[in-house]
Amino acid sequence: MKSQLRALIEQGIASLRDTGALPSDLAVPEFVVERPKDRSHGDFSTNAAMLLARQARGNPRALAQALVGAMQGAGLVSAIEIAGPGFINFRLAGEAWNRQLREVHERGDAYGRGDAGGGRRAGIEYVSANPTGPLHVGHGRAAAIGDCVARVLEANGWNVAREFYYNDAGAQIDNLARSVQARARGTTPEDPGWPEDGYRGDYIREVARAYLDRASVELDGQTVTAAGDVDDLDAIRRFAVAWLRREQNADLAAFGVDFDVYFLESSLYSDGKVEETVRRLVAGGHTYEEGGALWLRTTDFGDDKDRVMRKSDGSYTYFVPDVAYHLSKWQRGYERAITELGADHHGSLARVKAGLQALDAGIPQGYPEYVLHQMVTVMRGGEEVKISKRAGSYLTLRDLIDEVGRDAVRWFLVARRPDSQLVFDIDLARSQSLDNPVYYVQLSHARICGLLRQLRERGLGFDLGNGLAQPQDVDNPATRELLAELSRWPETVQTAGAQLEPHLLAAHLLELAQAFQRYYNDHQFLVDEADLRDARLALALAVRQVLANGLALLGVAAPEQM
């Protein structure tokens, strides 16, 4: 609808230039076509006349009047009105709404999808948890957001690769290995000999028992078998990482999340990528030595201070492998790299981007893009839920899935802006009430499916083609609102992809479900008059289609019965 109105306005501007009412060389301004907040003002509004008047130094209302007269909108608009200082408001004709309804049915599953990405390649990294324990609820929010970003970019024509980066090197892994070793030796977290930074959850005992039993783990097409030797710390490390990676993969599978690429941080060292990156930075003249350490001049690229790359003891700071890793993304053909992270990682972003620019490898300045999420607080019965016995110090993602179900977890974790604090109310997520947004949306989908079952049970006919040929009662506010919500879906998908904000999808689906409920309350569907029955069911099935399309982008089921 908006694109058709934009074309209509541009045609009117061209006509005014052709007739001399506007200078022939006057550029078309960057006007907007938007939906008025007050529906009584019409279906759409534009500021085109005011912007034209500013350029032509004319009276905006007079120019608006001229522009209205120059627009040829037969079949698209039923009325065009001028408001305020020169806004132009449009009221769409009934046939325009009918064309929109036909488009929903014609495109089906593809309705809302676009080609803005043009098949270009995008890599999306998310979750990327250290393999040191079960996934917690924060990882779940990263998984829900990242997976939905991937889905909505695919819906916008991007060729998406989903990537999980395993931090399988560094101090955390050493702490994991020493924790498992201590358990294998019979030491408990309460004993004085427990590692200072050791992991205390019951899962450490499970890993230690499996290691002593010489268990095997199948992972990435390989078998990792425990040595059973409590003195072999390297063997313990390899087995514990494999064991916990397998467990995290199982948690993600239960959440409906999978990946195309699993990238190991350790490979950056074993393949020489970290050393290669450092050599390139040194050769480019962007480093210097001071105090026995190697520094990168990140201030040359917008950072607030220079950063240490290699410490005086010879070890690298954590952002150096991050630079090497993102260089590999560029080398692997990711024209766009998007990383979903917890907001606590914010401090490292500038130095990673600075390192990539210092490589002088042709990487765009905005590479990579980041989506940062805030923490999640889980509540039950008005009290915060913090601890899982198995994890020891935090609530696990699996705990939450087991308690409220995958659909509710995915919806609630993605339904707020990523950069906003999120309170996850278990009681609300479990409730079968219209206060529960995911239940409301799924119920609307199931209710429409139920109409078709009732249709068959009563032996009534339904002709979709006839229904689409019938004019909808657009003078009825509930009908017009429902049609407007259907028409907004492609725009919502496009905006969610452009801004990397999948919560917009959830918000729109809830508004669509609410609009359908208002229509449902006011209208009978299975009436005796065939034309009216067909028209109303055609509208209802369009709503079902958009709900199904949207729930698929969120990774949430669209049930036929509830």
Hey, CA dihedral for 157, 161, 167, 169, is it positive or negative?
negative
| pLDDT of the residue at 4 | 87
237 contacts 141 by C-beta, under 8 angstroms: no
Question: Rounded CA gap, 487 and 489, in Å?
Answer: 6
How high does pLDDT run on average in the chain?
A: 93
| Residue environment code for 99-120, b if the CB has 16+ CB neighbours within 10 A, otherwise e | bbbeebbeeeeebbbeeebeee
Give the pLDDT band (50/70/90) at residue 185. very high
Distance from C-alpha of 351 to C-alpha of 296, rounded to nearest angstrom: 9
**Rounded distance between C-alpha atoms, residue 347 and residue 339, angstroms:** 14
> pLDDT tens digits for 263-300?
999 899 999 999 999 999 999 999 999 999 999 999 99
Nearest alpha carbon to residue 506 among 483, 482, 489: 489
On the question of pLDDT at 389 being above 60, the answer is no
Handedness of CA 313, 319, 325, 326 (dihedral sign): negative
pLDDT at 167 over 70: yes
What does the pLDDT average to over 104-120?
Answer: 97
Q: State which amino acid sits at residue 258.
A: D
pTM, full prediction: 0.91
The predicted-structure confidence for 116-125, as pLDDT tens digits, reads as follows: 999 999 999 9
Alpha carbon dihedral 440, 258, 491, 560, in 10-degree steps, equals -30
Residue 218: CB atoms within 10 Å: 10
Q: What tens digit of pLDDT does each residue of 491-547 get?
A: 999 999 999 999 999 999 999 999 999 999 999 999 999 999 999 999 999 999 999
CATH topology of domain 2-92: Gyrase A; domain 2 (3.30.1360)
Per-residue pLDDT tens digits for 75-96: 788 889 999 899 999 999 999 9
From 132, 293, 289, select the one nearest 204 (Cα to Cα). 132
Rounded CA separation 528/540 (Å): 17
State which CATH number among 3.40.50.300, 1.10.730.10, 1.10.10.10, 2.90.10.10 fits the domain covering 98-115+435-554: 1.10.730.10
Answer whether residue 346 shows pLDDT above 80.
no
Domain boundaries, the chain: 2-92, 98-115+435-554
Q: Do residues 529 and 413 lie in contact, with contact meaning Cβ atoms separated by under 8 Å?
A: no
For the chain, what percent of residues have pLDDT higher than 90?
A: 81
Give the pLDDT confidence of 232-241 residue by residue, as tens digits.
999 999 999 9
Please give the pLDDT value at position 391: 58
Res 412 pLDDT > 80: yes
Helix axes 137-155, 406-414, angle to 10 degrees: 80
Integer Rg of the chain from CA = 29
Q: What would the two tokens of residue 530 be?
A: 């065939």
Position of tokens 């095997």? 216
